Amino acid sequence: MEFRRVADILKNGQPEEAVVVKGWVRTKRELKGFAFTEVNDGSSLAGLQVVLDSDIPDYEANLKQINTGASIEVTGTLVASQGKGQKIELKADTVIIYGEADPETYPLQKKRHSFEFLREISHLRSRTNTLGAVFRVRNACATAIHQFFQEKGFLWIHTPIITASDCEGAGELFTVTNFNLDKLPQDKEGKIDYSQDFFGKPAYLTVSGQLQVEAMAMAFQNVYTFGPTFRAENSNTSRHLAEFWMIEPEMAFCDLEGDQNLAEEFLKYIFQYVLDNCPEDIEFFNKWINKSLLETANNIMSNEFERVTYTKAVELLEKASKKFEFPVEWGIDLQSEHERYLAEELFKKPVIVTNYPKGIKAFYMRLDEGEKTVSAMDVLAPGIGEIIGGSQREERLDILERRIQEMNIEADSLWWYLDLRRYGSVPHAGFGLGFERLVQFITGMANIRDVIPFPRTPDNADF
RNA sequence: UCCUCGGUAGCUCAGUGGUAGAGCGGUCGGCUGUUAACCGAUUGGUCGUAGGUUCGAAUCCCACCCGGGGAGCCA
């Protein structure tokens, strides 16, 4: 008698095989003299239909306890299904109830729930079809990311979670301290005396591992981060989390074009991997969540991404017949409506916009000739907007120092970053992408809070 | 943070000044192949919270709390 996962049984199970299945009851249908129940163990979207004949031991008692949400173990024999909807089903010999789920109070019903409601029961929502599919796809994305980089010889770098540098300019920071907040030590001027804090200076949760991973790229050439990131920004949108996961590849001896090539190859690879490994889940999303999902995926995988400079993009937007709420003008950052127009209406496929004005981009991006623009790139995808942001980094010490001064960035904690330009500096480039936004993109889920198991947002750190 | 819409039964919602409603769910009964099972019956309420207006408030006014959508910021 062999313990098998449901996904394996549905794929490989043959009639006459004796199996043991363990999982959670999704639904029960009682008829006179027998009953059906569907058991799901998380291994697949579809559950296994179990047939319970009234001649099994303790039929009446068991049936009372087999309710939606209960955990059970079924031992029996696989048989070809007489009904429609499944090829194979399990004819039970014995049933063990592990844990009951009182139908009067169990919040998940055999019906569709709103995602807003499911968020209030985040500890249970993974037992639903949609969230189950989301987290299987999320896992596949993570696997695909590592596989992609590992196949290319990139090293996975664990950059610090705690940082004393607040100069990345990527948003508000969470402070890390072991001070007693009711009794903050003060210096003679009445200011908080951080020299007494754990790190001897103000410390924060990381908003990006990029600066550190650049240092590692200067030793291993090709590296990437994949880890948690924190932003204390008071953003209440369907695309923002206070705690999220970010992927940041960094390549030495690489320019902006190589960066674009990697971003394009990366996205195509992830989509292909998920389509190959989670076809059932993707089919589900395409049917119930976003009917153009497969179309979008195929669009991503089969088309060359369009590549335009920022200057060209602005020209195209100015020529557009469409009226924008925010007028376009060289020098401004592109608004979401502009990005959407480029990707969704004009090119109808992913667009990489490059060489943005230096005034709207970060200090570390490489200054282009003419010194008006920097070697930045944003990948804009239909239906989601900016999904990847990256750049070639400034590898020239004098120019980087000048840029830091021009932008009034506090340079003391950046000494080591500048050292990288002092000793064996090379052209290098990389990009960052939010993992949850990638999962959103691939699943079609509208709200980012529904693609991470336990979302952290302003005023919400439950579970 | 700003704009906007909303909060009524376990869930999804209707009810716009005069006795609190529906569907689904739950419960009970029926049904020999169901699969969002079906059929019948039944159960179910601090109308977000606290004030105010009124003979009378789920409904009108004020404040606050919570949620959705959009914007900004960004990934």
The DSSP string of A24-93 is EEEEEEEETTEEEEEEE-SSSSS-EEEEEETTSTTHHHHHHH--TT-EEEEEEEEEE-SSSS-SEEEEEE
What is the per-residue pLDDT across A242-293, written as a single tens digit (0 to 9) for each?
999 999 999 999 999 999 999 999 999 999 999 999 999 999 999 999 988 9
- Confidence check: pLDDT of A344 > 90: no
pLDDT band, very low/low/confident/very high, at A322 (cuts 50, 70, 90):
confident
What is the per-residue pLDDT across A151-201, written as a single tens digit (0 to 9) for each?
999 999 999 999 987 666 667 889 999 999 888 999 888 889 999 999 999
Residue A376 maps to a domain: yes
Say how far apart CA A56 and CA A238 lie, in whole Å: 49
What's A256's domain CATH number? 3.30.930.10
Instruction: Name the amino acid, one letter, at A45.
Output: L
Tell me the backbone φ, ψ of residue A126, rounded to 5 degrees.
-70, -10
In chain B, which nucleotides are within 7 Å of a protein Cβ?
Answer: 1-2, 10-13, 24-27, 30-37, 66-75
Is A290:A297 a contact under the CB 8 Å cutoff?
A: no
> Which of the nucleotides lies closest to A172 (Cα–C1')?
B73
Residue A278 maps to a domain: yes
* Predicted pLDDT of residue A357: 94
Residue A51 maps to a domain: yes
What's the average model confidence in pLDDT over A80-102?
Answer: 92
* Predicted pLDDT of residue A76: 95
Residues A30 and A77 in one domain: yes
Whole-number Å distance, CA A47 to C1' B69? 34
What is the per-residue pLDDT across A22-41, written as a single tens digit (0 to 9) for each?
999 999 999 888 999 999 99
3-state helix, strand, coil in chain A (%, to 5): 35, 25, 40
Residues A37 and A157 in one domain: no
From A99, A116, A136, the end of a domain falls on A99
What is the per-residue pLDDT across A394-444, written as a single tens digit (0 to 9) for each?
999 999 999 999 988 888 889 999 999 999 999 999 999 999 999 999 999
* Predicted pLDDT of residue A91: 95
Residues A16 and A156 in one domain: no
Range of the domain at A161: 127-171+207-450
Tell me the backbone φ, ψ of residue A291, rounded to 5 degrees.
-70, -10
> Which of the nucleotides lies closest to A457 (Cα–C1')?
B67
Residue A105 maps to a domain: no
Say how far apart CA A377 and CA A392 lie, in whole Å: 9
Is A205:A176 a contact under the CB 8 Å cutoff?
A: yes
Residues A82 and A147 in one domain: no
Whole-number Å distance, CA A278 to C1' B3? 40
* Core vs surface per residue A134-160: b (16+ CB within 10 A) or e: bbbbbebbbebbeebbeeeebeebebe
* Predicted pLDDT of residue A167: 60
Residues A267 and A331 in one domain: yes
> Which of the nucleotides lies closest to A438 (Cα–C1')?
B75
User: What is the ipTM metric for this complex?
Assistant: 0.92
Residues A84 and A141 in one domain: no
Residues A38 and A135 in one domain: no
Whole-number Å distance, CA A325 to C1' B61? 35
Residue A459 DSSP class: T
Other C-beta atoms within 10 Å of A10: how many?
21
Residue A114 maps to a domain: no
What is the per-residue pLDDT across A123-151, written as a single tens digit (0 to 9) for each?
999 999 999 999 999 999 999 999 999 99
Residues A77 and A133 in one domain: no
Residue A177 maps to a domain: no
Residue A282 maps to a domain: yes
Whole-number Å distance, CA A6 to C1' B9? 37
> Which of the nucleotides lies closest to A450 (Cα–C1')?
B68
* Predicted pLDDT of residue A170: 64
Residues A312 and A236 in one domain: yes
* Predicted pLDDT of residue A371: 94
Whole-number Å distance, CA A117 to C1' B17? 32
- Confidence check: pLDDT of A5 > 90: yes
Say how far apart CA A382 and CA A262 lie, in whole Å: 19
What's the average model confidence in pLDDT over A115-121?
Answer: 93
- Confidence check: pLDDT of A1 > 80: no
Whole-number Å distance, CA A449 to C1' B52? 39
Q: Which two tokens stand for residue A188?
A: 């003679």
Say how far apart CA A197 and CA A59 lie, in whole Å: 64
Start-to-end C-alpha separation, chain A: 38
> Which of the nucleotides lies closest to A84 (Cα–C1')?
B35
Closest residue (CA to C1') to nucleotide B35 in the complex? A85
3-class secondary structure, A296: helix
* Predicted pLDDT of residue A355: 96
Number of independent structural domains in chain A: 2
Residues A28 and A144 in one domain: no
Q: Which two tokens stand for residue A172?
A: 């508000």
What's the average model confidence in pLDDT over A96-102?
Answer: 93
Whole-number Å distance, CA A64 to C1' B60? 50
> Which of the nucleotides lies closest to A107 (Cα–C1')?
B10
User: What percentage of residues in chain A have a pLDDT greater than 70?
Assistant: 99
Least confident of A108-117, A125-134, A318-327: A318-327
What's A90's domain CATH number? 2.40.50.140
Closest residue (CA to C1') to nucleotide B26 in the complex? A104
Residues A219 and A93 in one domain: no
Whole-number Å distance, CA A111 to C1' B45? 22
What's the average model confidence in pLDDT over A358-382?
Answer: 93
> Which of the nucleotides lies closest to A105 (Cα–C1')?
B10
Beta strands A306-309 and A351-357 are parallel
From A79, A99, A119, the end of a domain falls on A99
Q: Closest by alpha carbon to A292, among A434, A443, A439, A435?
A: A443
Is A209:A225 a contact under the CB 8 Å cutoff?
A: yes
- Confidence check: pLDDT of A85 > 90: no
Whole-number Å distance, CA A41 to C1' B62? 52
Residues A9 and A147 in one domain: no
Residue A304 DSSP class: P
* Predicted pLDDT of residue A412: 84
Instruction: Name the amino acid, one letter, at A332.
Output: I
> Which of the nucleotides lies closest to A245 (Cα–C1')?
B75
Closest residue (CA to C1') to nucleotide B72 in the complex? A235
Residue A460 maps to a domain: no
Whole-number Å distance, CA A121 to C1' B48? 19
